[in-house]
Amino acid sequence: MLKIFDDKIKLSFAFCDELLNMSGEKNVFNIALSGGSTPRIIFQTLAEKFRGKIDWEKIHLFWGDERCVPPDDEESNFGMTKKYLLDYIDIPPKNIHPVNGNNIPEKEAERYSTELKKFLPVKNYLPVFDLIMLGIGEDGHTASIFPDQMKLLNSEKICEVSFHPLSKQKRITLTGKVIDNAERIIFLITGKSKSEIFNRILENRDEPVKKYPAAAITPVNGRIEYFADKEASGLLTGTL
């Protein structure tokens, strides 16, 4: 459930080892990547240390959320993944399934939902990922489900349009039910700036009323784990 690592380097190696082992057991491995800054170290470790170990032919890359910006925009999660990972690995282009940040958001949410239904197996009448990588925002959001948009956790849709509460930037996000449907969910939490919210998330997770989207993520048939470094887990009060 909770794995604490000395630092983000050791955390990233542990995640990459998990990805290597999990994907080695399957002919096709479907992963939804998270965005923001935390995954950069994961992508760098994959590019530098796991490039030749992982069979990228098996791996299909999707995104758990994306900002509605062009791929070359510095805000683009796809652009960040390309910069730190895709430019260094031999993955077939057909295995890369980006959200189209240039599309009209409402149309893209529909289009991406259709793409997920086309490529992914189905469980509980929903697309099922082998692994979903998630981060936690300092406000407790995850993917692009923000605390003032909790209804997206229970949306009947596969993808929805959301917006950042401060910048109002539009986003495409997986909905809570699709995230919960994954075989495996791994939250990645690093840095002292996340210690407060991480502690609150773990406490709120066991309460009936969820205040934070990240606290509401609960696998229906899979496993959930929190990979945290010592800085991010510094305030934990033994809640796990």
What DSSP state is assigned to residue 89?
S
In terms of CB distance, is 65 or 115 closer to ligand 6PG? Answer: 65
Tell me which of 41, 143, 197, 232 binds ligand 6PG, using CB under 6 A.
143
Asked if residue 219 binds ligand 6PG (CB under 6 A), the reply is no
Asked if residue 162 binds ligand 6PG (CB under 6 A), the reply is no
User: Measured from the CB of residue 136, what is the shortest distance to ligand 6PG in angstroms?
Assistant: 6
In terms of CB distance, is 36 or 147 closer to ligand 6PG? Answer: 36
- What is the Cα–Cα distance from 185 to 180, expressed in whole angstroms? 8
Within 8 A by CB and 6+ apart from 136, the residues are 142, 187, 189, 194, 197, 198, 201, 214
Asked if residue 127 binds ligand 6PG (CB under 6 A), the reply is no
Asked if residue 38 binds ligand 6PG (CB under 6 A), the reply is yes
> Do residues 185 and 225 make contact, with C-beta atoms less than 8 angstroms apart?
yes
User: Measured from the CB of residue 63, what is the shortest distance to ligand 6PG in angstroms?
Assistant: 8
Asked if residue 77 binds ligand 6PG (CB under 6 A), the reply is yes
In terms of CB distance, is 28 or 47 closer to ligand 6PG? Answer: 47
Tell me which of 6, 37, 49, 73 binds ligand 6PG, using CB under 6 A.
37
> Do residues 56 and 20 make contact, with C-beta atoms less than 8 angstroms apart?
no
Within 8 A by CB and 6+ apart from 224, the residues are 1, 184, 185, 186, 187, 217, 218
Asked if residue 135 binds ligand 6PG (CB under 6 A), the reply is yes
- What is the Cα–Cα distance from 220 to 215, expressed in whole angstroms? 14
- Return the exposure string of 24-44: e unless at least 16 CB atoms fall within 10 Å of the residue's CB, then b: eeeeebbbbbbbeebbbbbbb
Asked if residue 79 binds ligand 6PG (CB under 6 A), the reply is no
Tell me which of 35, 98, 127, 140 binds ligand 6PG, using CB under 6 A.
35
Binding stretches for ligand 6PG (CB under 6 A): 34-38, 64-65, 77, 135-137, 141-144
